[in-house]
Amino acid sequence: MNQYTDTAGAVDEVDAPHELTALDRCDACGAQAYIRVVVASGELLFCAHHGRKHEEKLSQIAHSWHDESSRLLSDTRN
């Protein structure tokens, strides 16, 4: 289950933004984005690596943090 969590820890799945797809790219390196961070100036997209790298600083100013990086661990084999 994907969750859209604001900085207060509340989970809101009704108004959650669209699920990130392969078209959503990391603002730092261009890899597929799995993390969406909303700050006062707009939206930032990150791959799992850069999301974790910047999480400590961004969490202080983020309005919301949407993390789908758990999809990387899901078993896609048949």
- For 51-67, what is each residue's pLDDT tens digit? 999 999 999 999 999 99
What is the structure's pLDDT at 69? Answer: 94
What is the structure's pLDDT at 24? Answer: 97
What is the structure's pLDDT at 15? Answer: 53
pLDDT digits (tens, 9 = 90+) for 11-55: 444 455 689 999 999 999 999 999 999 999 999 999 999 999 999
Q: Which residues of 34-58 are buried (b: 16+ CB within 10 A; e: fewer)?
A: bbbbbeeeeebbbbbebbeebbeeb
pTM recorded for the entire structure: 0.74
What is the structure's pLDDT at 12? Answer: 45
Strand segments (E) across the chain: 4-6, 35-39, 42-46, 64-67
